[in-house]
Chains A and B, each alone.
Chain A
Amino acid sequence: MKLDTSPRLADPDAIFARLVEAHLGLDEAASRRLDARLVLILANHVGDEAVLRQAIALARDPAPPNARR
C-alpha cells in the first residue's frame, strides 16, 4: 500500500495542540519515551510494513522531491 500524505485531519490545529499538550510537565527523557510509545502504538495500528517504511523515509527526509539536491 502507498503512504497516504493527503490532508486527512478534520481539525489539524486541535491535533497539533493535543500532541504538544501530551508532553506537558515531562522532562527530556520522558518526553522522548512518550513519542516512542506513540509511534509504536500508531505503527501497530497501521500494521502495513510497506507504509511504515515509506513513513520512516519521509520522516528522515521531509524535503519535497524537487527541493532535493
Chain B
Amino acid sequence: MPHANPRYPATPPPASGRDHRRVVVVGGGLVGLTLALDLARHGVAVTLLDEEDSVATGSRAICFAKRTLEIYGRLGLGEKLLARGVTWKTGRVFHQDRQVYAFDLLPEEGHRYPAFVNIQQYHVEAWLVEACAEAGVDLRWRHQVTGLAADADGVTLTVTTPSGAYALRADWLLACDGARSFIRRSLGLPLHGQVFQDRFLIADVVIRGEVAFPAERWFWFDPPFHPGQSVLLHKQPDELWRIDFQLGAEADPESEQQPERVRARVAAMLGPDVPFELEWVSLYTFRCRRLDRFVQGRVVLAGDSAHQVSPFGARGGNGGVQDADNLAWKLAAILRGEAGPALLASYEAERIAAAEENILHSTRATDFISPKTPAARAYRDAVLELAEGHAFARALVNSGRLSRPAVLADSPLNAADDGTWPGGAETGSPAPDAPVRHQGRPDWLLRHLGGEFALLVFDAVWTPVPGLRAVFVTAEETPGTLWDHSGLAAARYGAPPGGAVLIRPDQHIAARFAAPRPGAIRAALARALGQMEHAA
C-alpha cells in the first residue's frame, strides 16, 4: 500500500572522466528541480545532479501556498497541483476541549489559485522531473558531489557515481542540495540562527471511509488526547492525513517511533473505532537560521541549503520555490549578456529579506507553540484563555503564520512611481491575479503575463516601448485586450485609466506609471535589470 516513488535509471558518467557545463544545479529536490525547469524555460542549458535516483521519500512538504501555485502556473504545472491536491483555506484552533476560533485565509473571490493546496512533495517533484526532461534539462541521477574547488570563473566538482567518479567544471554552480548541503559545508559557510530542542513526531496516516475531519488545518493546544503538547492535522490526497504531535525536548527518538507507540497516540486522537494505517512515521527537530550571503562568486545557494525554518507556517518549500523563481530569470539575463553582477546581487538582497521574514515568523510561531520559560507559557496560556471570547486575543494566537508571498518592497530593482498612484498592489509585490475575459472566454490575467518582462496597460491600447510586450486590460470589451469585466484587475492594481505597470519575468511589480512615458519605462526596465546607472 505505501506510495511507491518512481525510480530513475542511474546516469553513466562521461567516458572521458571530465566534463564542462555552463550551469550546474546540485540537488534534484523541490528547489533544484524548480530552478532547473525555470532556467530551461528561459532557454538556458542546465545540468542537474542528484545523489539519489528518486524524488523525496516520506513526509515532507504538503502545504503549497497560492504564490507557489502561481509560480507553478507560470511553469505549466499549476493545473496539475489543483486537480490532484486538496484545496483548503480554513483553519481552526482548539484549546483543550474547545474550539477557540476559525480563520479563512482567502476570504475574497476571483483568484485562479486558492490560499493553499495540500499535496505530497513527492508528487510535485515527480511532475517537475517529467517537465524538466521535456524541457531538455540534462538530469543525472546517482551523481553525488563529493569534492569542490571554487575559483573566480567557476567551480570544479568531483562527482561520484556508481560507475566511478569524474571531474565536472561548471561556470555557475547552483547549490540546491538541501539542509545538510555539502556545498555549503565545503565552502565553510556558517548558518546563523536558532536550533530548537523540542521534538515533533510526524505521522502520515491512511484513514478509509467516513472521517470526522474536513479538509481544513486543525491545530490543538493542550488537547485532552495529547495533554500538555500541541497537535496539527492536515488532509492530503489519497485518504492520507498528516498529524504532527509535539513531544517535548525529553522525548526519546528511538521508542517514540515504534509503531505501537505511534498507533496509540493516533488512536487516542481519532477514537477507538476508527480504523487507520500508518504510512510513514518520522521524528523531527527544527532550526530557524540562514547564511549571511547567498552568492559566493560563481556559487549561488537556494532553498534549504541557504535557509531553514520550522514547518509551522509552511515557509520552507514555499520560500525555496520563490528563491528559484527569483534566480532563474536573473541568471538567464546574465548569461545572455543583458545584465551584470548587480542583478545577481539583487537575488541576494531580495531573498535575504524574504528569508528574514520567514525566519522571524517561524521562530515566533515556534516560541508560541513550545514556550521555553514559565513566563512564556503563562502568556501563551493567557492568550488562549482569552481568545475564544475576545477578538483581540485571537490575533495573538500564533499556531503558525502561514506562508505569504514576499513583497520585495526595498528591492534595488524597484523604480519610484512617476506620480500619484491611487493604491492597490505596491511595487515589489507579486502581480495580483484577476478574472478577465479573453476572446469571449473566461480567463485569468496572470496567464497572459508569461515569463518575460511585460507592461500591463490599463484602458489604453498602445505599445510605448517597442520590444517590450504589452498586455492590455480594458474596462469595456475591446478586440485584442483582456476584458476586466468585473473591474477586479483595475481595483487590485489600483490602476488609473491610461496607467501602466511594469511586470518582471518572475511576475513581481517593478514599476508603476500613472502617465506612462517611453523614457521613464525604459529607465525602469534598465533598473529592473540591475543597470542602475541608466535609471533616472
Which residues of A approach B to under 8 Å, CB–CB?
29, 32-33, 35-37, 39-41, 44
B381 at the binding interface (Cβ < 8 Å): yes
Q: Which residues of B contact A41 (CB under 8 A)?
A: 386
Q: Which residues of B contact A35 (CB under 8 A)?
A: 378
Q: Which of B364-404 contact A (CB under 8 A)?
A: 374-375, 378-379, 381-383, 385-386, 392-393, 396
Instruction: Given A32-B374, A32-B375, verify A37-B382 contact (CB < 8 Å).
Output: yes
Q: Which residues of A contact B392 (CB under 8 A)?
A: 44
**Nearest 7 interchain pairs by C-beta:** A36-B382, A32-B378, A37-B382, A44-B392, A36-B378, A36-B379, A33-B378
Task: Classify the secondary structure of B's interface with A.
Answer: helix
Please tell me the size bucket of the interface on B. Answer: 10 to 19
Give the distance in Å from the alpha carbon of A31 to the alpha carbon of B381 in the complex: 12
Additional 15 contacts, C-beta under 8 A, given A36-B379, A39-B382, A40-B396 = A32-B374, A32-B375, A32-B378, A33-B381, A33-B382, A35-B378, A36-B378, A36-B382, A37-B382, A37-B385, A40-B379, A40-B383, A40-B386, A41-B386, A44-B393
Q: Which residues of A contact B378 (CB under 8 A)?
A: 29, 32-33, 35-36
- Closest CB of chain A to B473's CB: distance in Å? 39
- Closest CB of chain B to A41's CB: distance in Å? 7
Q: Which residues of A contact B379 (CB under 8 A)?
A: 36, 39-40
Give the distance in Å from the alpha carbon of A29 to the alpha carbon of B378 in the complex: 7
24 A-B pairs within 8 Å (CB atoms) are namely A29-B374, A29-B378, A32-B374, A32-B375, A32-B378, A33-B378, A33-B381, A33-B382, A33-B385, A35-B378, A36-B375, A36-B378, A36-B379, A36-B382, A37-B386, A39-B379, A39-B382, A40-B382, A40-B383, A40-B386, A40-B393, A40-B396, A41-B386, A44-B392
Give the distance in Å from the alpha carbon of A4 to the alpha carbon of B378 in the complex: 27
Give the distance in Å from the alpha carbon of A9 to the alpha carbon of B382 in the complex: 26
- Closest CB of chain A to B208's CB: distance in Å? 42
Q: Which residues of A contact B383 (CB under 8 A)?
A: 40
Whose C-beta in chain A lies nearest to the C-beta of B381? A33
Give the distance in Å from the alpha carbon of A19 to the alpha carbon of B381 in the complex: 20
